[in-house]
Structure 1
Amino acid sequence: MPQHDSTAPVCRDCKGFAAVAVTTGTRHRDGSRTTLLVDCRTCKGTGHTAPTAALSAGR
């Protein structure tokens, strides 16, 4: 399980698990499955997101 830095906000979409291995259903010659490593689209594989900018109170 990844360790989260308390100052960096965790990605809301992947909850910090930024990369997953997905099987394609095909197999290699040795019998192992073909997998793809897919990164979270929101955080681009970091597990953290940049803090959102606060809305300004006055215009």
Structure 2
Amino acid sequence: MPQHTRARVCRDCDGFATAAITTGTRHRDGSRVTLRVDCRACKGTGHTLPAHVLVQVGR
């Protein structure tokens, strides 16, 4: 049965908040050099806040 959670999955990354991107170069042992990049929308958490939690500041 599915588990119901209150946190919403980020619509930009679908919950996969961190991606490993290869640069094309290799280390001395033969493994590839990778960069870890976090989703900008959820800042790497994979979840976003519901709209009613967000507060508008200003006019």
Same fold (TM over 0.5): yes
RMSD: 1.8
The structural deviation recorded for 1:5 is: 6.1
Q: Equivalences for 1:1-59 in 2 at 5 Å?
A: 6-53=5-52
The structure carrying a bigger strand percent of its residues is 2
Unaligned stretches of 5+ residues in structure 1: 55-59
Runs of 4+ in 1 over 6 A off after TM superposition: none
Q: TM-score, normalised by structure 1?
A: 0.78
The letter of the residue matching 1:10 is V
Identity of aligned residues (%): 69
Aligned length: 51
TM-score (norm 2): 0.78
Structure 2: where are the runs of 5+ without partners? 54-59
